[in-house]
Structure 1
Amino acid sequence: MISRDEVVRTALSIAAIQQDDGGVPWPEGHVDAWNHVECLMAMAVAGLSEPVAKGYDWLAGHQRDDGSWPMKLVGGVATELGGESNHAAYVAAGVWHHQLVTGDEEFTERRWPMVKAALDYVVGLQTERGEVVWERDAHGVASSFALLTGCSSIHQGLRCGVLLADHVGDPQPHWELAADRLAHALAAHPEAFADKSRFSMDWYYPVLGGAVRGPRAFELLDREWSTFVVPGLGIRCVSDQPWVTGAETCELVLALDALGDRERAARLFTDVQHLRHDDGSYWTGWQFANHKHFPHERSAYTAAAVVLAADALLGLSAGSSLFRDVAAGPPPESVSPADPHPCGCTPAVF
């Protein structure tokens, strides 16, 4: 386990690469709203208020009239114009997390219109079955398919948005309905999502995002544990490559912590510390067949995932329970496979 001082050092490694306009980039230089928000959350845990405020100014400055953000921006200029639904939804998680960590009511009131526009953009992409398609393209045309990882993150964003709306006294019941419908799709309709099952994120994200909890969550994680977990190193990014990654490992730590499985969570968190650099940053991954860091980079989003996992395990901030508190209720996973869901179908098993 790392110390509080080491957590702050890791957050400072994120602040060190923040751009002058407030964006927190990928190693290759572009910024997207989802990873940017995750980095702001990590810096908030460490009390880095100035870079966090600068980062939310960046979000407000680049939000479009429809509530979305460009998929990629380089130097403040959009290079991919489509708007991803999960990028927009995660802003709600970030602002709610900021409220929990800081108690800054003025900040929350000021950023509420940004969140409201973002989540209305998201629910506008929900299908009748409940999944949320992954983007609107540059011409405003909605995609024809949904992604399980993205929708799991959207579920978390919607739940955070509902809590935020109640907090500011502007309830949004249609978000809660959208979250319930999405949770049902995630728990009962795997056919609703494009097949990305070789990626570990599609394995654990329904748990991380709160759509699947309880006994079914343990079943889900145990089913592919040996496929993705490499003892002593972390978890694979994809099932067919000898490559463990820090961000995915720490997200699985958060999922396990949300289930109360703190023993396995702490073990995995300890395992992945081989990616830590002397300056507190983290290598993105390790290719354990060639014994090389791959790619040869240290990424802010990996550092951010480490900080959030450490916060969950150590209780460093008032936002440490964020991932535990977004479970669907009543959870779709409480319905046994033999019992009908409210829509009359029989839940599928992942």
Structure 2
Amino acid sequence: MISREEAVRTALSIAALQQDDGGVPWPEGHVDAWNHVECLMAMTVAGLTEPVRRGYEWLARHQRPDGSWPMKLAGGVATELGGESNHAAYVAAGVWHHHLVTGDRGHAERYWPMVKAALDYVVGLQTERGEIVWERDAHGRAAAYALLTGCASIHQGLRCGVLLADHLGDPQPHWELAADRLAHVLSAHPEAFADKSRFSMDWYYPVLGGAVRGRQAFELLDREWSTFVVAGLGIRCVSDQPWVTGAETCELVLALDAVGDRTRAAALFADMQHLRHEDGSYWTGWQFANRKHFPHERSGYTAAAVVLAADALQRFSPGSGLFRDIAGTSVSDPEVCGCVERPSFRSAPPG
């Protein structure tokens, strides 16, 4: 475990990366809304009010009229113009998390129009079956396929948006219906998504995002445990490379904590601490065959995942239950999506 003081130091390493315009970049220098929000959430846990304020102003400033954000921005200029659905949805998780941690209703009210436009953009990309395609391109054309990891994150964003809407007295029942339909597809229809099964995120994200709970969650996590978990180091980013990554390990920690498996969660969190730098930041990953940090960088999004995992395990803030408490009921009526039987995750291709 790390102490509260160590978690704050890690959050300060994120604040040190923040650009003058408020964006929190990748090591390569670009900013995207999803990783930016993750970093704001970590700094919110640490009580870094001013960097968080500037970060939400960045989001509001760069949201487009359709509710989306450019896929990548560098120096405040869009360099990739497509709008990813999971980027837009995660903004709702960030604003709801901010409310849970701070109780600041004024902040929630200020950014409610931003959240509302973002989630309406997201549900506009939902297919008849229920999955949500991954982007709308620069010409406004919806993508032809959906991504499982992205949809699992979207599920969390929609659930957070529903809670925020109810809290502010502006219910959005179409978001709840969209989340229910999406949860059903995530839990029952692996064929709805492009095959990215070599990536560990496609393994645990349905649990992390709240779409899968109970016995099915444990079956899902146990199925690929030996594929991705490397004892004493963390989890692989991809199944076919000797490379563990801190962010993915901490997200699995959050998923395990969300289903009450705190023993394995705490052990994995301890295992990945070899990535901690003396200044509180974290190396992105470790190539354990070559015994080198890979890539040779310390990333804000890794530090953010560490802070959120530490908060979940040790209850530093009132927002520590964000990943535990957002599960909802999925739609199981076959007439809703046209399925006759509900295939389980066991029918998905192996990772």
Taking structure 1 as the reference length, the TM-score comes to 0.97
The residue number in structure 2 matching 1:258 is: 258
The residue number in structure 1 matching 2:191 is: 191
The residue number in structure 2 matching 1:17 is: 17
Are 2:340 and 1:345 aligned?
yes
Cα drift, residue 341 of structure 1: 7.9
Give the letter for the 1:55 counterpart: G
Cα drift, residue 340 of structure 1: 6.1
In the alignment, the residues of structure 1 paired with residue 201 and residue 328 of structure 2 have an alpha-carbon distance, to the nearest angstrom, of 19
The residue number in structure 1 matching 2:326 is: 326
Q: What is the SS of the residue equivalent to 1:244?
A: strand
Give the letter for the 1:224 counterpart: E
In the alignment, the residues of structure 2 paired with residue 140 and residue 210 of structure 1 have an alpha-carbon distance, to the nearest angstrom, of 29
Cα drift, residue 236 of structure 1: 0.1
Give the letter for the 1:349 counterpart: S
- CA-atom RMSD, angstroms? 1.1
Q: How many residues align?
A: 344
Give the letter for the 2:342 counterpart: P
Give the letter for the 1:255 counterpart: A
In the alignment, the residues of structure 2 paired with residue 167 and residue 79 of structure 1 have an alpha-carbon distance, to the nearest angstrom, of 36
Cα drift, residue 109 of structure 1: 0.3
Alignment of 1:210-289 (within 5 A): 210-289=210-289
- Residue ranges of structure 2 left out of the alignment (5+ in a row): 346-351
Alignment of 1:1-350 (within 5 A): 1-329=1-329, 331=330, 343=337, 344-350=339-345
In the alignment, the residues of structure 2 paired with residue 148 and residue 135 of structure 1 have an alpha-carbon distance, to the nearest angstrom, of 13
Query: 8 Å contact 1:147–1:194 — kept in the other structure?
Result: yes
Cα drift, residue 345 of structure 1: 2.2
Deviations 1:52-107 (A, max 9, x none): 00000000000000000000000000000000000000000000000000000111
Give the letter for the 1:241 counterpart: Q
Cα drift, residue 349 of structure 1: 1.7
In the alignment, the residues of structure 2 paired with residue 138 and residue 345 of structure 1 have an alpha-carbon distance, to the nearest angstrom, of 37
In the alignment, the residues of structure 1 paired with residue 228 and residue 170 of structure 2 have an alpha-carbon distance, to the nearest angstrom, of 42
Query: 8 Å contact 1:341–1:347 — kept in the other structure?
Result: no
In the alignment, the residues of structure 1 paired with residue 169 and residue 328 of structure 2 have an alpha-carbon distance, to the nearest angstrom, of 21
In the alignment, the residues of structure 2 paired with residue 178 and residue 56 of structure 1 have an alpha-carbon distance, to the nearest angstrom, of 26
In the alignment, the residues of structure 2 paired with residue 120 and residue 28 of structure 1 have an alpha-carbon distance, to the nearest angstrom, of 30
Cα drift, residue 348 of structure 1: 1.3
In the alignment, the residues of structure 1 paired with residue 79 and residue 276 of structure 2 have an alpha-carbon distance, to the nearest angstrom, of 31
Query: 8 Å contact 1:100–1:318 — kept in the other structure?
Result: yes
In the alignment, the residues of structure 2 paired with residue 20 and residue 247 of structure 1 have an alpha-carbon distance, to the nearest angstrom, of 25
Cα drift, residue 346 of structure 1: 1.1
Deviations 1:225-249 (A, max 9, x none): 0000001000000000000000000
- Residue ranges of structure 1 left out of the alignment (5+ in a row): none
Q: What is the SS of the residue equivalent to 2:269?
A: helix
In the alignment, the residues of structure 2 paired with residue 340 and residue 119 of structure 1 have an alpha-carbon distance, to the nearest angstrom, of 26
Identity of aligned residues (%): 84
Give the letter for the 2:308 counterpart: L
In the alignment, the residues of structure 2 paired with residue 171 and residue 87 of structure 1 have an alpha-carbon distance, to the nearest angstrom, of 22
In the alignment, the residues of structure 1 paired with residue 342 and residue 275 of structure 2 have an alpha-carbon distance, to the nearest angstrom, of 39
